[in-house]
Amino acid sequence: MHTASNRGISLRHVALSAGLLAFLALLALAGRAQGAELLYWDNYGAAPQSIAVANGDGSGGGALNLTGVTLDDPEGMALDTVTGRLYVASDSAGPEGKGAILFAKLDGSGAGVFSAPGAPVDTPEGVVVDPVTRTIYWTNADGALPSKGSIAWAKLDGSAGGTLNTAGATLDQPYKIGLDPVNGRVYWGNNPISGVTISYANVNNTGGGTLSLSPAPKSAYAFAVDPAGGRLYWSEGQDDRFAYTGLLGGSVSILDTSGALTTSSYGFAIDPTLNKISWPNYDNGVDRANGFGFASLGGGGGGNITPVTAPFDGPQDLLVLKSPTGTAAPVLTRAKKARSQLTCSAGTWAGDFAGSYVYQAPTTYAYQWTRNGSPLAGASAASFTAKTPGKYACVVTATNQAGAASQTSAAANVKASKAKLTVKKKVTVKAGGVATFKLKVANQGDLKSKNAKACAKVPKSAKGELKAPKCKSLGKLKSGRKKSATLKIKTTPSAAGVYKVTFSVKGSAGKPVKSKIQVLPAP
């Protein structure tokens, strides 16, 4: 736990009661469905302490259900959209007061304690999740002497953990942690008593270093990365400002937040797509007015948000959860041997900016098939077999706690069965004999035919010389399948000359085919 001299605010380390939170969980479902953004924060100054959620404009909201855990001095939060868990470093929790990594379920079903074999927990004061490698990292401010803290890691499934190699880096009671997915690093700030520095460790466990910064930061309490701009941001809490540098260090600049209130921020979020930074105003205490500030990463353009009903008391560790954003429409594929069998991909959706503490990945997908633009009742799986011709498409709706968005695939034209006939163009036979025709039938359509029949038709003028056969059954022709049939046409002894015969398939679309019978005089 950091001291008042370390943080400059004695209020932050007043002992708080450890009563169990039982607030109403989350926003109403209807409110979530309409919202494009949710804000999460912890209330360090509350008694008991809580984790709150509200719509992006500050309306609505409540407190997460923490049944199953006791939140004690929260210091750092991160989301895992895959499992729907919000992780929080509770630095004074546990029977020995060494703290714990807690999680609360976004669906409001309760909370728990996270642990992994080999991962130390000793006054954790910052947490970040890497959704790609499925790894969680946190800082430990304390440890057995001569340790001055450590950086812990663990697999999110709890299967393994350990201490990150920090050789070459300064490590002195680290506070909040930042993730740089571009360079594969985590950052932290060191205790100002020993000189303010920002250090890093490579997540591949090859050691780290301390950033060369000019001028040196006054303080470094919380971190967020802008991967698009290639910047590392940190809050200089008591100076009510944000500083930034390149991801690899260099010159330090102060962000212009004019237009917004800034009163000590401990944990903020950066939205690279909106070029926006958002933060909680810790020093507001219980004053909701302008409880959150925001500004452009380009400088200025700031404003404030007032939470209306959600718990609010010494807010910090702001997280932003946005509704899903589609980046590429779903793609339809057809089965090779049955072209009426369609499969729809989920499409492509924007991922989380985990190092920026802005999240937007979907948690669930829903499918709806349409025919000629109209939805089909009950067609809500990723695969669908068409039974009637038409233009089919699938609509994929991605959902997370903040809301939903949909993308529609290009349409696939499913064609009715279409029989292609192939038959010999001319058959020669002697009068009184039998003309034998071998027909080959292929279904070039996408749908299976009805019970099809191969038939032959002779001209009315030749009915005294030719006798048409009965139609031959072909059964139900599947898409791409071929069948054969033999039709025999009898000639009378009086037949002579050349006769035209028409062949067709009943029960399937397709063009008839004409052939000829040349009848030679009987010997």
d(CA 228, CA 182): 10
pLDDT at 380 (0 to 100): 98
pLDDT above 50: residue 505: yes
Percent of the chain with pLDDT over 70: 92
CATH class of 419-520: mainly beta
The side-by-side arrangement of strands in the sheet containing 276-280 is 269-271, 276-280, 292-296, 303-305
d(CA 367, CA 395): 6
Choose the weakest-confidence range: 31-40, 144-153, 266-275, 364-373.
31-40
Choose the weakest-confidence range: 172-176, 278-282, 423-427, 434-438.
172-176
Report the candidate in 332, 318, 323 with the shortest Cα–Cα distance to residue 269: 318
Show Cβ contacts of residue 317 under 8 Å, excluding neighbours closer than 6 positions. Answer: 41, 42, 74, 75, 76, 77, 88, 222, 266, 267, 280
Per-residue pLDDT band at 144 (split at 50, 70, 90): low
User: What residue type is assigned to position 59 of the chain?
Assistant: S
d(CA 488, CA 507): 21
- Of residues 234 and 15, which shows the higher confidence score? 234
User: For the chain, which residues make up each domain, given as ranges?
Assistant: 4-322, 330-350+368-414, 419-520
Buried b (16+ CB within 10 A) or exposed e, 200-218: bbbbeeeebbebebeeebe
Tell me: the pLDDT tens digits for 446-482?
999 999 999 999 999 999 999 999 999 999 999 989 9
Average pLDDT over residues 334-356: 95
Show Cβ contacts of residue 463 under 8 Å, excluding neighbours closer than 6 positions. Answer: none
Query: To the nearest 10°, the Cα dihedral for 361, 25, 288, 234?
Result: -40
pLDDT above 80: residue 23: no
What is the secondary structure of 146-158 as a DSSP string? T---EEEEEETTS
Residues in the chain: 523
pLDDT at 337 (0 to 100): 82
CB 126 within 8 A of CB 89: yes
d(CA 456, CA 472): 9
Show Cβ contacts of residue 374 under 8 Å, excluding neighbours closer than 6 positions. Answer: none
Q: Is 4 helix (H, G, I), strand (E, B) or coil?
A: helix
Average pLDDT over residues 170-191: 93
Strands 358-359 and 315-322: parallel
pLDDT at 145 (0 to 100): 54
Cβ count near 383 (within 10 Å): 14
Report the candidate in 162, 119, 120, 161 with the shortest Cα–Cα distance to residue 144: 120
Average pLDDT over residues 353-359: 97
User: What residue type is assigned to position 370 of the chain?
Assistant: T
In the numeric block, which tokens belong to residue 176? 């909040």
d(CA 366, CA 388): 23
Q: What is the CA radius of gyration of the chain?
A: 36
pLDDT at 95 (0 to 100): 74
Q: Compute the Cα dihedral for 262, 218, 78, 257 and give only its sign.
A: positive
CATH class of 4-322: mainly beta
pTM surpassing 0.75?
yes
Centroid of chain to Cα 400:
8
Q: Where are the beta strands (DSSP E) in 141-217?
A: 150-155, 161-163, 177-180, 185-189, 198-202, 208-210, 213-214
Centroid of chain to Cα 57:
23
Q: Is 41 helix (H, G, I), strand (E, B) or coil?
A: strand
d(CA 392, CA 67): 47
Write a three-state SS string for 267-327.
CCEEECCCCEEEEECHHHCCCCCCCEEEEECCCCCCEEECCCCCCCCCEEEEEEEECCCEE
User: What residue type is assigned to position 512 of the chain?
Assistant: P
Cβ count near 1 (within 10 Å): 17
Q: Is 53 helix (H, G, I), strand (E, B) or coil?
A: strand
Residue 355 has what DSSP assignment? G
Per-residue pLDDT band at 96 (split at 50, 70, 90): confident
Average pLDDT over residues 240-245: 96
Residue 117 phi, psi dihedral angles, 5° rounding: -60, 130
pLDDT at 31 (0 to 100): 35
pLDDT above 90: residue 32: no
pLDDT above 70: residue 389: yes
In the numeric block, which tokens belong to residue 258? 């004019």
